[in-house]
Structure 1
Amino acid sequence: MKPSLHPQEEARLRELHRYGILDTERERDFDELVEIASAICEAPVSVVNFIDEGRQWFKAEVGLGVRSTPIDTSLCGHVILEGDFVEIPDTLQDERMADNPLCMGDEGFRFYAGAVLRAANGLPIGTLCVLDYKPRTLTEHQRRVLTVLSKHVMRELNLRLALAQEQTLRREVDHRVKNSLASIGALLSMKARRAADEAVQHALEDASIRVRSLSSLHAELHELEKDELVDLHSLFGRIESDLRQLLPDDLALKIAVVGDRATPELANGLLLIVNEFVSNSVKHGQWEQGGAIDITIATQERAWSIRCRDAGGASAEDAARAAEARGLGTRVISSLASSLDAQIDWRAQDDGMVLEVAALSPAA
Structure 2
Amino acid sequence: MTPRLHPREEERLRELRRYNILDTERERDFDDLVEIASQICEVPVSVVNFIDEGRQWFKAEVGLGVRSTPIETSLCGHVILEGDFVEIPDTLKDERMADNPLCTEEPGFRFYAGAVLRTEKGLPLGTLCVLDHKPRTLTPHQRRVLEVLSKHVMRELELRLALAQEQTLRREVDHRVKNSLASIGALLSMKAQRATDEAVQTALEDASIRIRSLSSLHAELHDLAQGERVELRSLFERIERDLRQLLPDGIRLVIEVGNDRVSPSLANALLLIVNEFVSNSVKHGLQDRSGSIAIAIRAGDDGWSIACSDDGSATSADAERAALAKGLGTRVIQSLASSFGVAPDWSANGSGMHLRIDAAA
Q: TM class by shorter-chain length? A: over 0.9
Residue 196 (structure 1) shift = 1.1
1:157 maps onto 2:157 in alignment: yes
Residue matched to 1:30: 30
Alpha-carbon separation, structure 2, partners of 1:139 and 1:114: 14
Residue 274 (structure 1) shift = 0.3
Residue matched to 2:108: 108
Give the stretch that moved more between structures: 258-267 or 139-148. Answer: 258-267
Give the stretch that moved more between structures: 221-230 or 303-312. Answer: 221-230
Alpha-carbon separation, structure 1, partners of 2:247 and 2:259: 26
Contact 1:323 1:330 in 2 (8 A): yes
Aligned-partner SS, 2:344: strand
Aligned-partner SS, 2:2: coil
Matches within 5 A, 1:13-92: 13-92=13-92
So what's the TM-score if we normalise by structure 1? 0.96
- Structure 2 gaps of 5+ residues are none
Amino acid at match of 1:179: N
Residue matched to 1:183: 183
Alpha-carbon separation, structure 2, partners of 1:120 and 1:151: 11
Alpha-carbon separation, structure 1, partners of 2:6 and 2:90: 24
Alpha-carbon separation, structure 2, partners of 1:95 and 1:271: 72
Residue 225 (structure 1) shift = 2.9
Matches within 5 A, 1:239-258: 239-258=239-258
Deviations 1:83-122 (A, max 9, x none): 1111111111111111111001331111111011011211
Give the stretch that moved more between structures: 286-295 or 180-189. Answer: 286-295
Residue matched to 1:6: 6
Alpha-carbon separation, structure 2, partners of 1:199 and 1:247: 16
Amino acid at match of 1:68: S
Residue 286 (structure 1) shift = 3.8
1:131 maps onto 2:131 in alignment: yes
Matches within 5 A, 1:207-226: 207-226=207-226
Residue 218 (structure 1) shift = 1.0
Aligned-partner SS, 1:343: coil
Residue 289 (structure 1) shift = 7.7
Alpha-carbon separation, structure 2, partners of 1:105 and 1:355: 81
Deviations 1:117-163 (A, max 9, x none): 01121100000000111111111111111111100000010011011
Alpha-carbon separation, structure 2, partners of 1:33 and 1:329: 58
1:93 maps onto 2:109 in alignment: no
Contact 1:38 1:45 in 2 (8 A): yes
Residue matched to 2:121: 121
Alpha-carbon separation, structure 2, partners of 1:122 and 1:201: 63
Residue matched to 2:328: 328
Contact 2:71 2:77 in 1 (8 A): yes
Amino acid at match of 1:265: S
Amino acid at match of 1:6: H
- Structure 1 gaps of 5+ residues are none
Alpha-carbon separation, structure 2, partners of 1:177 and 1:286: 33
Alpha-carbon separation, structure 1, partners of 2:200 and 2:117: 65
Aligned-partner SS, 1:106: coil
Amino acid at match of 2:91: T
Residue 344 (structure 1) shift = 1.6
Residue matched to 2:347: 347
Contact 2:315 2:350 in 1 (8 A): no
Deviations 1:337-364 (A, max 9, x none): 11121232111157211111111xx33x
Aligned-partner SS, 1:114: strand
Amino acid at match of 2:105: G
Residue matched to 2:272: 272
Aligned-partner SS, 1:6: coil
Alpha-carbon separation, structure 1, partners of 2:286 and 2:230: 35
Identity %: 76
Amino acid at match of 2:177: V
Alpha-carbon separation, structure 2, partners of 1:328 and 1:150: 60
Residue matched to 1:173: 173
So what's the TM-score if we normalise by structure 2? 0.97
Alpha-carbon separation, structure 2, partners of 1:59 and 1:349: 70
Aligned-partner SS, 1:249: coil
Alpha-carbon separation, structure 1, partners of 2:165 and 2:351: 55
Contact 2:92 2:98 in 1 (8 A): yes
Contact 2:115 2:128 in 1 (8 A): yes
Residue matched to 1:356: 356
